[in-house]
């Protein structure tokens, strides 16, 4: 088979057209991003971001949370990376002749021969994985996948590119020479033209659909908020020029939000991970992203040249109240997303605009907001009653013992919820046994603001945070100990925005340290069957998993939780995102979680261990609702106290 000028002419005609179409669409999308709001935080910590790029983008790490499709997609991606050099070679052959090779990769070099073997393996591997993908979509019909014409086109295009490359190789090597009438040569030229023009068609098509993630995911992974949605951004409410709160319209999304929309692969992993979607609620993170993406496309004329009339409302029209107020902000969707889309922050922003701009929120939250505003706790109980549970404990107060090592910041639940108060007493007993220096604020303790901020009442949340930060600074607090993961997350990740810079420690971290130091020596008795429930805000949001497991081991327990429902993939109790204060409609998330944990125990009796006051109440309520009287729900502090042993 010999090179023919017609190869260069055909590819030369398609090339500028494809580049023009690609450039026009990509430039329009870039202009749309620039028309959106700025990102409030600077892009920092580049070494960490480069590490994320190497593992999440190049290593495809998050895809392997679901092994079969993860391996399939990763092999297709890695195969394409390998075949980039091959694509350049084929374009060179189309224009310069079949003797063309990239420098150092000719068939006479060892590198060229090695690459040839790698290229053949990539062609075969990608082809096989595409067939697996087609099987999953159109034979197995995996529920989370959308079997669109878009998806089918791309899979068939990839398969065609692989087969055309292999066919051209066969023709070039003379393996088709025996075909009559020069058919082998015609097939070879056709395969080369199909491959080169196919790549150009694919290039022009990429920015038009969901497969734009091939181009944008590298930027989305690099630019993601490093703490996911565990840290809410702080709008400057004192700025008189600030007229919009949250995201009432599409232009109030940041350009990073817009990049999220472009990068969504529509894989449905977020829906599958979402506890609200799992139990049958309307909320589905992918559908919110898709709705906003479609809105951005519809509003493009208005954003770019002022045409198109009145802006669409993102809520309650595009995203319904049922969806907005079903999110537990557990961030399981963000953990599952292979391209680091910030789902939870997007929903929180919709809540802000609903609460602050429209005054629209579930009726039961009126009492919560009023209680926070008047008495600095969601129950609305008097500040003087905050420490009633400890009247007989003679606790040290910070103003009288400013030399204490830790400020024990208990939080609202541990002070006002009857069940959580028992944990507070257990924790105080353990600290005293080990001689830990601590003090409390007493009636001076205020809500940290987490509940208000997660429910969209940003003004109230900021007021509480500012009050606390000023108080802590006045009292020269350096270390804060708390039994509540929600307080922990807020104090650690959000208070720096309010001038509060402290070392924040969760009680499981300190108790783990005390056990390792030998200051706390629980008697390792027979705990019986036990399973551990990971708090979303301690685990998934802040990456703290091991202390609870070490403490469980110290009291003679071994976690029986299934791997697919623990640690990073743990299932929410249903309380996060302020949902603890809402009357849950329809199937209950805490019921589903109790069923999972009971199944993990494999018995009618046993213990569910946790380390969050919200989780404690939600799981205990679920146990009662489901008639699982044999199951006990205990905080790890309670288990340690019950284990006794010398301090």
Q: Could you say which of 300, 328, 357 is where a domain stops?
A: 357
Q: Are residues 600 and 556 in the same domain?
A: yes
- Among candidate residues 224, 329, 227, 220, the one with its CA nearest the CA of residue 274: 329
Q: Are residues 84 and 192 in the same domain?
A: yes
Alpha-carbon distance 614 to 487, whole Å?
Answer: 11
Q: 312-353, pLDDT tens digit by residue?
A: 999 888 999 999 999 999 999 999 999 999 999 999 999 999
Q: 249-262, pLDDT tens digit by residue?
A: 999 999 999 999 99
Tell me the mean pLDDT in the region 357-368. Answer: 94
Going from the C-alpha of 479 to that of each of 132, 232, 403, 474, 545, the distances in angstroms are 53, 22, 11, 14, 21
Alpha-carbon distance 187 to 202, whole Å?
Answer: 21
Alpha-carbon distance 95 to 92, whole Å?
Answer: 5
Q: Are residues 371 and 353 in the same domain?
A: no
Q: Are residues 370 and 350 in the same domain?
A: no
Q: Are residues 79 and 185 in the same domain?
A: yes
Q: Is 220 within the bounds of a domain?
A: no
DSSP-derived 3-state class of residue 635:
strand
Task: Tell me: pLDDT of 647 over 60.
Answer: no
Number of H helices, E strands in the chain: 26, 7
Output the six-digit token pair for 395: 């606790």
Alpha-carbon distance 552 to 559, whole Å?
Answer: 7
Q: Is 521 within the bounds of a domain?
A: no
The DSSP string of 336-378 is H-TT---HHHHHHHHHHIIIIIS----TTHHHHHHHHHHHSST
Q: Are residues 551 and 507 in the same domain?
A: no
Residues 6+ apart with CB under 8 A from 199: 87, 161
Output the six-digit token pair for 354: 């609903």
Q: What is the pLDDT of residue 611?
A: 95
Alpha-carbon distance 115 to 109, whole Å?
Answer: 10
Alpha-carbon distance 544 to 537, whole Å?
Answer: 9
Q: Is 576 within the bounds of a domain?
A: yes
CB 209 within 8 A of CB 297: no
Q: What is the pLDDT of residue 564?
A: 72
Q: What is the pLDDT of residue 562?
A: 67
Task: Tell me: pLDDT of 239 over 90.
Answer: no
Alpha-carbon distance 468 to 472, whole Å?
Answer: 6
Q: Are residues 269 and 344 in the same domain?
A: yes
Which CATH number do you get for residue 262? Answer: 1.10.1060
Output the six-digit token pair for 30: 């870039």
> Residue 73 burial by CB count (10 A; 0-12/13-18/19+): exposed, middle or buried?
buried
Helix (H) or strand (E) holding 503: strand 503-506
DSSP label at residue 502: -
Question: Any bridge partners for residue 532, and if so which?
Answer: 609
Total domain count, the chain: 4
Containing domain of residue 468, as a range?
365-516
Task: Tell me: pLDDT of 526 over 70.
Answer: no
Q: Is 578 within the bounds of a domain?
A: yes
Task: Report the b/e string of 463-486 with b at 16+ CB within 10 A.
Answer: bbbbbbbebbeeeebeebbbbbbb
Which CATH number do you get for residue 448? Answer: 3.40.50.1860
Q: 376-427, pLDDT tens digit by residue?
A: 999 988 888 898 999 999 999 999 998 999 999 999 999 999 999 999 999 9
Output the six-digit token pair for 424: 């507070």
Position 646 confidence tier, pLDDT thresholds 50, 70, 90: low
Handedness of CA 497, 498, 502, 504 (dihedral sign): negative
DSSP-derived 3-state class of residue 439:
strand
Q: Are residues 193 and 250 in the same domain?
A: no
To the nearest 10 degrees (0 to 180), the angle between helices 110-135 and 149-172 is 150
Q: Is 217 within the bounds of a domain?
A: no
Q: Is 221 within the bounds of a domain?
A: no
Position 106 confidence tier, pLDDT thresholds 50, 70, 90: confident
Q: Is 216 within the bounds of a domain?
A: no
Q: 271-285, pLDDT tens digit by residue?
A: 999 999 999 999 999
Alpha-carbon distance 336 to 348, whole Å?
Answer: 19
Q: Is 568 within the bounds of a domain?
A: yes
Q: 214-236, pLDDT tens digit by residue?
A: 899 999 999 988 776 688 989 88
Position 500 confidence tier, pLDDT thresholds 50, 70, 90: very high
Position 528 confidence tier, pLDDT thresholds 50, 70, 90: confident
Q: Are residues 197 and 271 in the same domain?
A: no
Q: What percentage of the chain has pLDDT greater than the value 90?
A: 73
Q: Are residues 80 and 172 in the same domain?
A: yes
Question: Any bridge partners for residue 610, and if so which?
Answer: 635
Q: Could you say which of 309, 333, 357 is where a domain stops?
A: 357
Q: Are residues 479 and 557 in the same domain?
A: no
Q: What is the pLDDT of residue 384?
A: 84
Q: What is the pLDDT of residue 640?
A: 92
Q: Could you say which of 295, 328, 357 is where a domain stops?
A: 357
Q: Are residues 286 and 395 in the same domain?
A: no
Helix (H) or strand (E) holding 422: helix 418-433
End-to-end CA distance of the chain: 85
């Amino acid at each position: 088979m010999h090179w023919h000028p017609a190869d260069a002419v055909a590819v030369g005609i398609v090339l500028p057209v494809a580049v023009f179409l690609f450039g026009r669409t990509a430039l329009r999308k870039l202009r749309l991003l620039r028309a959106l709001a700025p990102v409030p935080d600077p892009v920092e910590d580049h070494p960490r971001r480069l590490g994320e790029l190497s593992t999440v983008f190049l290593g495809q790490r998050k895809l392997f949370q679901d092994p079969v499709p993860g391996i399939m997609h990763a092999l297709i991606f890695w195969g394409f990376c390998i075949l980039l050099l091959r694509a350049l070679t084929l374009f060179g052959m189309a224009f310069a002749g079949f003797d063309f090779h990239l420098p150092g990769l000719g068939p006479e070099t060892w590198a060229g021969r090695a690459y040839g073997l790698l290229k053949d393996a990539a062609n075969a591997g990608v082809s096989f994985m595409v067939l697996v993908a087609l099987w999953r979509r159109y034979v197995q019909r995996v529920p989370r996948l959308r079997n669109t014409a878009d998806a089918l086109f791309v899979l068939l295009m990839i398969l065609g590119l692989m087969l055309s490359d292999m066919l051209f190789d066969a023709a070039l090597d003379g393996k088709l020479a025996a075909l009559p009438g020069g058919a082998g040569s015609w097939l070879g030229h056709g395969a080369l033209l199909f491959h080169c023009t196919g790549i150009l068609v694919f290039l022009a098509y990429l920015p038009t659909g969901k497969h734009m993630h091939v181009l944008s995911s590298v930027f989305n992974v690099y630019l993601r908020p490093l703490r996911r949605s565990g840290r809410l951004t702080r709008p400057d409410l004192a700025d008189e020029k600030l007229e919009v709160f949250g995201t009432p319209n599409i232009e109030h999304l940041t350009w990073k939000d817009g990049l999220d929309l472009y990068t969504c692969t529509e894989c449905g992993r977020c829906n599958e991970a979402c506890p609200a979607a799992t139990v049958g609620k309307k909320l589905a993170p992918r559908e919110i992203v898709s709705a906003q993406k479609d809105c951005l496309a519809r509003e493009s004329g208005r954003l770019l040249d002022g045409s198109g009339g009145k802006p669409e409302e993102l809520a309650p029209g595009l995203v319904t109240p049922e969806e907005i107020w079903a999110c537990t902000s557990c961030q399981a969707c963000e953990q599952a997303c292979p391209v680091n889309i910030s789902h939870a922050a997007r929903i929180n922003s919709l809540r802000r605009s609903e609460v602050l701009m429209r005054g629209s929120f579930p009726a039961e939250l009126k009492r919560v907001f009023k209680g926070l505003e008047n008495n600095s706790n969601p129950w609305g109980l008097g500040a003087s009653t905050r420490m009633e549970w400890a009247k007989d404990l003679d606790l040290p107060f910070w103003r009288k013992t400013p030399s204490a090592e830790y400020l024990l910041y208990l939080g609202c639940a541990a002070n006002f919820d009857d069940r959580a108060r028992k944990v507070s007493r257990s924790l105080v007993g353990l600290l005293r046994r080990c001689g830990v220096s601590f003090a409390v604020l007493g009636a001076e303790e205020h809500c940290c603001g987490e509940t208000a901020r997660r429910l969209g009442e940003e003004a109230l949340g900021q007021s509480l945070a500012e009050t606390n930060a000023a108080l802590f600074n006045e009292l020269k607090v350096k270390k804060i100990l708390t039994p509540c993961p929600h307080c922990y997350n807020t104090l650690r990740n959000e208070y720096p925005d309010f001038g509060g810079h402290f070392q924040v420690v969760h009680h499981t971290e300190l108790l783990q340290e005390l056990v390792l130091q030998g200051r706390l020596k629980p008697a390792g008795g027979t705990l019986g069957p036990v399973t551990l429930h990971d708090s979303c805000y301690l685990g998934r949001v802040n990456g703290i998993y091991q202390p609870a497991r070490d403490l469980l081991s110290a009291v003679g327990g071994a976690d029986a939780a299934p791997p697919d429902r623990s640690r990073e993939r743990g299932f929410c109790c249903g309380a996060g995102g302020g949902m603890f204060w809402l009357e849950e409609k329809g199937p209950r998330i805490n019921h589903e979680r109790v069923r999972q944990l009971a199944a993990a125990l494999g018995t009618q009796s046993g213990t569910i261990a946790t380390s969050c006051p919200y989780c404690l109440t939600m799981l205990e309520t679920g146990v009662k609702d489901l008639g699982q009287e044999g199951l006990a729900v205990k905080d790890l502090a309670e288990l340690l106290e019950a284990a006794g042993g010398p301090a």
